[in-house]
């Protein structure tokens, strides 16, 4: 029984080891730029449509009024 616990512990330790800090930094930088770049690329009508759809999804039909 003890051997199974040791094996499980080793598997979890390998699966959850620390990530490469350089890769994490690059991914974070891209993520920080993404939303702003997308908003600048969209027209105001498209942004409004996306916002209305998000509000409708989150709060239901009553939240979106014209």
C-alpha to C-alpha distance for 55 and 66, rounded to whole angstroms: 13
C-alpha to C-alpha distance for 29 and 26, rounded to whole angstroms: 5
| 0.95 surpassed by pTM | no
Q: CB of 2 within 8 A of CB of 10?
A: no
C-alpha to C-alpha distance for 17 and 37, rounded to whole angstroms: 32
Digit-by-digit pLDDT tens for the chain (66 residues) are 579 999 999 998 888 887 788 888 888 888 888 888 888 999 999 999 999 999 999 988 665 555
Buried-state track 38-61, b at ≥16 Cβ within 10 A, e below 16: eeeeeeeeeeeeeeeeeeeeeeee
């Amino acid at each position: 029984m003890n051997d199974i616990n040791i094996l499980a512990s080793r598997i979890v330790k390998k699966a959850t080891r620390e990530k490469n800090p350089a890769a994490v930094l690059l991914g974070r930088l891209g993520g920080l730029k993404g939303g702003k770049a997308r908003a600048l690329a969209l027209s105001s009508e498209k942004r409004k449509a996306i916002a209305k759809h998000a509000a409708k999804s989150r709060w239901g039909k009553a939240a979106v009024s014209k």
